[in-house]
Amino acid sequence: MSRFTIPVCHVDDIDHESSKGFEIGDLNFFAVKRDGIITLFQNNCPHLGVNLEFQQDQFLDADNFYIMCSTHGALFQPEDGKCVYGPCQGQSLISVDFEVIEQQIHIAEAATAIA
């Protein structure tokens, strides 16, 4: 049986070239869909540990190309979370593993309880 038992949302609930935030248990995270590929990351800037979004569900820059931290403008690659510009350049967002089961994104229960 899969360890990914916690449903998050349908893959179509995330618009193309867009992002969406979630809170499940202790896990504050967001999903990005760019070029049809979905990635999930913890909502935690490696610079100061703050939430990234400018406003609800707005994790991307004005071009919807990079993930952007609204505090100091760090830019992160949506494909792997690596910071390519800003005070935490070279560091990365923490990815959240997931599995798509019947078009629903699922995360592991263990991910929702941060030690």
Contact residues for ligand FES (CB under 6 A)?
45, 47-48, 50, 69, 71-72, 74, 86-88
Question: Which CB sits closer to ligand FES, 8 or 74?
Answer: 74
Q: Which is nearer to ligand FES, 76 or 98 (CB)?
A: 76
Cβ nearer to ligand FES, comparing 40 with 67: 67
Report, in Å, the least distance between residue 87 CB and ligand FES. 5
CB of 68 to ligand FES, least distance (A): 9
CA-nearest of 63, 64, 67 to 79 is 67
Closest approach of ligand FES to the CB of residue 66, in Å = 12
The kind and range of the H/E element at 34 are strand 27-34
